[in-house]
Structure 1
Amino acid sequence: MSDVPFQSAVDQSRALAAGEISSRELVELYLERIATHNPVLNAVVTLDPERARREAAEADAARAAGQDLGPLHGVPITVKDSFETAGMRTVGGRVDLKDHVPDQDAEAVRRLRSAGAVIMGKSNMPPGNQDVQADNAVFGPSSNPWDTTRTSGGSAGGGAVATASGLAAFDFGSEIGGSTRIPAHFNGLYGHKSTWRSIPLSGHVPYGPGVGWWTDADMACGGAQVRDARDLVPILRATAGTADHDAGFSYTLAPPRSTKLSDFRVAVWGEDPSCPVDSDVATAVDDAVTALRAAGAKVTIRPASLPVDIATNHRKTFLPLLFGALSYDRSGLTPAPNAALLARLLQHPRGDAGPALLGTFQSHYHWLKAHTVRNEIRQRWFEFFKDFDIVLMPVTPTAAPAHHNKLIDRFGRPYEVDGVRRPYWDQIKWNAVANVSGGPATTIPVRKGRSGLPIGLQAMGPSGGDLTTIEFAALLGREVEGFVPPPAFA
């Protein structure tokens, strides 16, 4: 039983189907581990054990009765606290929502339940999804299981910690700028950003209770963090598809372009002057290239046909689109953070505070300019992926940094790359490439760095090519370190 909490969701499903374990036993195992380890990690912030036990018993009864079962039947999971859950508190890291209990499930949550998943509780996050750590004034910070003095990453940091530490089979989350991929990289997991609009975000809390039912934030996507890349397949099959209110739009999962590493055409984009990476990340890129070449993959280092550079993607497109999308949620525009923003703007007029201020209050004309550039870049990616199947890139420039302990001064936190101070928000620049392109991206745990912390890379693919990036991640993960349980919690 000691291995069961760290099994893949697919293996757990097989064990449930074979009668080797019941859903009720699996739920009890995870509840026991949450009781033991969560006080230190602070990953799961709302828990409903009695409902989980009841739903697990119902799942076991349905299996025994020979009913049709979904692809996640009886598997215990957590859900990022940005998704509304009927009868279960949904806070979204916001003080004004600390007692909010929705009366309906978000659309993705409804689909997870329909697929048979047992939702035990909610995982920690920053207020409104707007940070690269999981910390807020309601619940406090989540800690990295590889080193509890380090951040979990964000925004889906609590879910990554829960999954890596064996507190749930997986966590279902969301992202707009690396919120699933960054925590997966920091905690040694496979994390997936789905193709934009493939998973409906109706009922996603950042817009406020009820408001998000008919509005999906620009660039925002569903995603998940798992211990085995192929767990992502049943998760996507359960959640991807047309929303009832999204008339005329359809989405189907394209088959993987290959099922052997030797057949993949891989572009490696490992460095960019606008966002330098440290030696640990560079070594991870080298390790991955070595493994790919040994497997016979066609590898091209930084092809000249790359559609965009980091600086152009970030400043001209991602930032105005991001702050335009986030501007609907004005809950954080209170006197203290506003004062901090203005102070940073005066101290560093060319820093990150300026684009944040301009983007939050931009005109529709300025948003359309960024949107036009975005569409040009997306078309160039479409052409690029005729010649390549995957772009392999860093996730962030370093392994998980120390806890930042600042919730208000978002533009004044220290962050270093090989001893050189860099802007805090460099951590999202590599991820923003896929958010602008709209395509899927899957993280792969490659190795441990000098500090013993996990180092991952991300595989980005063409829009609709989720199964391609997932299959590539699964195959490459076998050739590098892959997921390893954090020793202190194994």
Structure 2
Amino acid sequence: MARYASDLTLGLDVVAGAGGLDARGWKLDLPAPRNDRPDTLRVAVMLESDVCVEQDDELTVQLAATVAALGDLGVALDYDARPAIDLEKSHHNYMMLLRSATGSEYPVDAYEVQKEHAARWAAGDRDYRALAGSGITMSHWQWAQHHRQREDDRLAWDAFFDDYDLLLCPTAASAAYPHDHTGERADRTIPINGGQQPTTDQLFWAGLSCGVYLPGTVAPAGLTASGVPCGLQIVAGHLRDRESIAFAAFMERELGGFQVPPGYG
């Protein structure tokens, strides 16, 4: 959305808030950042997870170096802090709710195809299409169960952010990769550690934050050993979007912001 944190702040001010019928009765008032000194921040770090099937080593190395540099600047880092939730269960919940939302406007014939995939999921198949079909065709009662779990997870995250200001984590399982628009998304792959992995495995780190409505700013975190740009996700507590962006601005000032990768100057 933006190359610089200041642009992101401007964009947030323009688009955030009530619209349509709601605009006549309420307005959004996002709080200002609580801390403006890095040595007062309590920052949790999670650079890898077993729930993410495989993550590119070059990405992990570069993100670890960036986080270590933040520690050298006085940021208090905790590599062991985690919210009191089951991350695997939470990710599955996110995928079900995501596919339910994205499939809500399917035409009848496409919906019937998804019911066939859902039947495979019920029979024990665990491929992406089966999961998506299960999410798209679930009943409202089933949706309510998943929504309830999401609300429970949100409360656990809120308790976590009572003790920590931010969580630093990847935004995807790899750095930037070549665009591929062939076929359907479920069939596409991305290069990970010399092999190929499904593009859908990238969704874990995105769902970690947006699956529970948490703000996450992706700040430039340098280039991998292969010269590919990567980003560090800065997750903040509910409605603390400005804290997340403020930390991205701090990284930009102290570590350097966006770098044009080789060949794109």
TM-score computed with the length of structure 2 as normaliser: 0.87
Shift of 1:417: 2.3
Deviation at 1:248, TM superposition (A): 5.8
Q: Matched residues in 2 for 1:295 and 1:313: separation? A: 33
CA distance in 1, matches of 2:109, 2:74: 52
- Which residue does the alignment assign to 1:229? 5
Q: Does 1:375 align with 2:151?
A: yes
The reply on whether 1:308 has 2:85 as its aligned counterpart is: yes
The CA deviation string for residues 420-478 of structure 1, in whole angstroms up to 9 with x for no partner, is 54332111110101112211110011111122110111000011111100000110233
Structure 1 residues 65-80: aligned runs within 5 Å: none
CA 1:325–1:257 in structure 2 vs 1: closer, same or farther (change >3 Å)?
same
Q: Which residue of 1 aligns with 2:104?
A: 328
TM superposition shift of 1:355: 1.3
Aligned AA (2:17): G
Counterpart amino acid of 1:328? S
Distance 1:459 1:427 in 2: 17
Q: Distance in 1 between matches of 2:193 and 2:264?
A: 29
Is 1:357 aligned to residue 133 of structure 2?
A: yes
Residues 272 and 428 of structure 1: is their aligned pair in 2 closer, same or farther, counting only changes over 3 Å?
same
**Residue 392 of structure 1 aligns with which residue?**
168
Q: Of residues 66, 70, 73 in structure 2, which corresponds to 1:295? A: 73
Distance 1:289 1:259 in 2: 18
Contact 2:213/2:238 (8 A) holds in 1: yes
Q: Tell me by how many angstroms 1:484 deviates.
A: 1.8
Tell me by how many angstroms 1:480 deviates.
Answer: 2.9
Letter in 2 for 1:397: A
CA deviation vs aligned residue, 1:196-230 (integer Å, no higher than 9, x gap): xxxxxxxxxxxxxxxxxxxxxxxxxxxxx111112
Which of the pair has more CA radius of gyration? 1
Alignment of 1:39-438 (within 5 A): 225-246=1-22, 250-275=27-52, 276-303=54-81, 305-315=82-92, 317-330=93-106, 334=110, 338=113, 349-408=125-184, 410-438=185-213
Q: SS where residue 411 of structure 1 aligns? A: helix
- Which runs of 5 or more residues in structure 2 are unaligned? none
**TM-score using structure 1 length:** 0.49
Q: In 2 relative to 1, CA 310–477 (structure 1 residues): closer, same or farther, beyond 3 Å? A: farther
- Please list the CA deviations of residues 143-201 of structure 1 after superposition, one character each: whole Å capped at 9, or x if unmatched: xxxxxxxxxxxxxxxxxxxxxxxxxxxxxxxxxxxxxxxxxxxxxxxxxxxxxxxxxxx
Relative contact order: is structure 1 or structure 2 higher (C-alpha 8 Å, sep ≥ 6)? 2
Larger proportion of helix: 2
Aligned-residue CA RMSD in angstroms?
Answer: 2.6
Name stretches of at least 5 consecutive residues in structure 1 with no aligned partner: 1-224
> Offset of 1:244 from its aligned partner?
3.9
Q: Is the 8 A contact 2:227 2:262 kept in 1?
A: no
Alignment correspondent of 1:469: 244
2-structure distance, mates of 1:457, 1:417: 18
Task: Quote how far apart the aligned CAs of 1:310 are.
Answer: 3.7
Change (3 A) 1:244 1:334: closer
Instruction: Check conservation: 1:307, 1:380, Cα contact below 8 A.
Output: yes
- Report the secondary structure of 1:377's partner residue: helix
| Match in the other structure for 2:230 | 455
| % identity of equivalent residues | 29
Residues in 1 aligned to 2:240 and 2:96: alpha-carbon distance in whole angstroms: 26
The equivalent of 2:255 in structure 1 is: 480
Change (3 A) 1:407 1:277: same
Residue 386 and residue 295 in structure 1: after superposition, are their counterparts in 2 closer, same or farther (change >3 A)? same
Contact 1:270 1:302 in 2 (8 A): no
Partner residue in 2 for 1:3? none
Is contact 1:391-1:461 (8 Å) kept? Answer: yes
Q: Deviations over 1:228-278 (max 9, x none)?
A: 112122221222222242376542111012222222111001111121322
2:59 partner letter? V
In the aligned structure 2, how far is the partner of 1:450 from the partner of 1:262?
30
